[in-house]
Amino acid sequence: MNIALIGQGFMGRAHSNAYNQVAHFFELKHRPRLKLLCGRRADELRTMAARWGWEETTTDWREAVTRPDIDVVDIAAPNSLHAPIAIAAAEAGKIVFAEKPMANTLDEARRMAAAARGVRTMVWFNYRRVPAIAFAKRLIEEGRLGRIFHYRATYLQQWGNDPSRKSGWKLEKAVAGSGVTGDLLSHLFDTALELNGPVSRLSAMQTTFEAGREIDDAAAVMVEFANGSQGTFEATRYAVGAVNQNRFEIHGSRGMVRFNLEDLNRLEFHDATIDAAEQGPRSILVTAPAHPYGTNFWKPGHIIGYEHTFIAALGDFLRAVERDEEFHPDFGDGVAVQSVLDAVERSAASGAWTTPEKAGV
């Protein structure tokens, strides 16, 4: 399977690592081949290709789409390029991977999904593959939380307050589409839809702290989920003291789970069905053989890091291909998230409670 990766930034590195590492930790019939690296800064591109083992480079992403020897087009370019590249790649019959947010608008996302009807796709919502989150999903599916009352999620970063980081494409509306809504809420809602099901309606606010900036520096959302639970979401780049806190807690009639990405090898689980005197949140180190991905990486207690979530997503995708099975999150899942983000933006603009549009293409 020949890969073309478009993107030479942080995500380009994370994906390159995954392609290099996936066969070390997942039993695969075929290894991905790092064929073509695309990016606009030609000189850096060669250095990066040499470092990570890409065979060729190009500064024109269309090459990735048109070359017949490319099987997968992996888009880690700035957000506004997702739709054009993905549509071209899908129309060329390629497997398409897209970084999150899938797109800058719901319309874009739908057009991407429509174009990709006949091809396999993946959205890099890598946090689904955090072992602790996969374990939370298992507990929920087994009914261990019972009826869900509350879903509470925050994604707290602080770099917005850093005077040295006042520019970059993530702050430009034309490129990024939005601020934390696309960048961080997208992660929170992918996890929420996965763990807690569809959103019925929501009310949102977006806040911009920096004068003259067009994108949202922070956002908050109140949610009614279809299962009757109450949801609250908050994302920000101005949470001074928090480096990368993707946190959630879910309270149900039979138990609770709690997670924080800064300590991603742990899940807190409270079992409300045991003797009352013995109840309390358990701090579970999710590194044992019995845990998701527990036999892929190291021994119990030998923790994994951020990068392993990409490796696991890729490993699961490649095995799904080998076994001819479904894989999620695909572009359909990406549209579902985008539909919620679209409702967030409309609600923040109107001040009214808003229902996400049906996600279907």
Pick out residues in 50-89 that bind its own copies (CB under 8 A): 51-52
Residue of 326, 322, 328, 335 lying closest to 31 (CA atoms): 322
Residue 265 gets which letter from DSSP? Answer: T
18 makes contact with its own copies (CB under 8 A): no
**Contacts to its own copies from residues 318-357, by CB under 8 A:** 351-353
**Contacts to its own copies from residues 250-279, by CB under 8 A:** 251-256, 258, 261-265, 268-272, 275-279
Residues in the chain: 361
Residue of 17, 60, 18, 14 lying closest to 36 (CA atoms): 60
Nearer to its own copies, 113 or 220 (CB): 220
Binding track, positions 287-316, relative to its own copies; x by CB under 8 A: xx-xx-----xxxxxxxxxxxx--------
Binding track, positions 178-217, relative to its own copies; x by CB under 8 A: -------------------------xxx-x-x--------
Give the CA diameter of the chain: 65
Out of 244, 319, 346, 361, the only residue in the binding site for its own copies (CB under 8 A) is 244
The region of 79-87, 100-108, 243-251, 319-327 touching its own copies under the rule CB under 8 A is 243-251
Q: What is the torsional sign of CA 7, 10, 13, 18?
A: negative
149 makes contact with its own copies (CB under 8 A): yes
3-class state of residue 105 by DSSP: coil
Specify burial of residue 274 (Cβ count, 10 A radius: 0-12, 13-18, 19+): exposed
CA dist., res. 133 & res. 130, Å (int) = 5
Distance in Å, CB of 88 to its own copies, minimum: 30
Please name every residue paired with 95 in a beta bridge, in sequence order, or none if there are none. Answer: 72
Distance in Å, CB of 65 to its own copies, minimum: 27
Distance in Å, CB of 266 to its own copies, minimum: 8
